[in-house]
């Protein structure tokens, strides 16, 4: 707080004036944090399940996994999946029907994404107006939504290869669905890591996902 008030050149102002704008709706904030918790539980318990029969020549260090043993990890995974699914559905329905997706994540063109990613790597990407996402953000958030949907669907294909056998066939059969599930998990973890690093680099974005407000820039 002190930082903000003593910023060079910034005029002194009481925090109650019209200089605050609402940038994250309440539904988005709540579903964001529930999703963060659900993804954390799903990924760390999933790692433990992976270790019971690794697809590749490596295991995930058990210290960063959840569940203690295969049975415990499965319990966590199949409990947290409901949190992920129900919360995710609420978020998707809200995003589609409130116009939130259209307003904040659309349009996004490959050219704009490449341009903004390049600018970001040069450290020149502006974050002046937190109510607007740049193209790199739009691509990351849309990519995360798609990756989580693929993750959930490939998970269902592994869980129910008989009852949902058409879905399993769509993912190339049981064994290939496991590979898709792992790949989608890796993509989700990668996007989340970049997201967390970006928040650390632009820390003023962090409280906005709790309060929903950001200071209007002049």
Between CA 199 and CA 118, with CA 36 as vertex, the angle to 5 degrees is 35
Identify residues 59-88 at the interface with other proteins (CB under 8 A): 66-68, 70-72, 74-76, 78-79, 82
Contacts of 128 (CB under 8 A, 6+ apart): 217
| Distance of alpha carbon 110 from alpha carbon 118, whole angstroms | 12
Contacting residue, 94, 101, 141, 174, with other proteins by CB under 8 A: 174
> Does 53 contact other proteins by CB under 8 A?
yes
Contacting residue, 39, 49, 130, 214, with other proteins by CB under 8 A: 49
Residue number with CB closer to other proteins (71 or 99): 71
Identify residues 6-45 at the interface with other proteins (CB under 8 A): none
| Distance of alpha carbon 31 from alpha carbon 118, whole angstroms | 30
| Residues near other proteins (CB under 8 A), total | 26
Classify burial at 148, counting beta carbons within 10 Å of its beta carbon; exposed 0-12, middle 13-18, buried 19 or more: buried
Half-sphere CA count of 9, side-chain side, radius 13 A: 2
| Window 186-215: contact mask with other proteins (x via CB under 8 A) | ------------------------------
Using CB under 8 A, list all residues that contact other proteins.
Answer: 49-50, 52-53, 55, 66-68, 70-72, 74-76, 78-79, 82, 158, 160-163, 165, 174-175, 178
């Amino acid at each position: 707080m002190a930082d903000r008030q003593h910023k060079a050149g910034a005029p002194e102002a009481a925090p109650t004036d019209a200089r605050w704008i609402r940038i994250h709706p309440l539904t988005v904030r709540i579903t964001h944090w529930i999703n963060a918790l659900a993804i954390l539980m799903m990924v760390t318990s999933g790692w433990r399940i992976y270790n019971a029969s690794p697809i590749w020549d490596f295991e995930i260090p058990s210290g960063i996994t959840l569940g203690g043993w295969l049975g415990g990890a499965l319990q966590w995974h199949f409990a947290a999946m409901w949190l992920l699914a129900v919360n995710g559905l609420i978020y998707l329905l809200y995003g589609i029907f409130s116009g939130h997706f259209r307003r904040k994540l659309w349009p996004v063109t490959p050219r704009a994404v490449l341009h903004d990613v390049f600018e970001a790597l040069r450290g020149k990407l502006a974050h002046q107006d937190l109510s607007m996402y740049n193209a790199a953000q739009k691509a990351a958030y849309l990519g995360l939504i798609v990756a989580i949907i693929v993750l959930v669907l490939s998970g269902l294909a592994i869980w129910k290869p008989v009852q949902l056998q058409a879905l399993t066939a769509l993912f190339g059969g049981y064994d290939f669905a496991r590979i898709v599930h792992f790949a989608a998990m890796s993509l989700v973890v990668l996007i989340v890591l970049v997201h967390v690093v970006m928040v650390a680099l632009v820390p003023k974005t962090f409280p906005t996902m709790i309060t929903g407000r950001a200071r209007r820039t002049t």
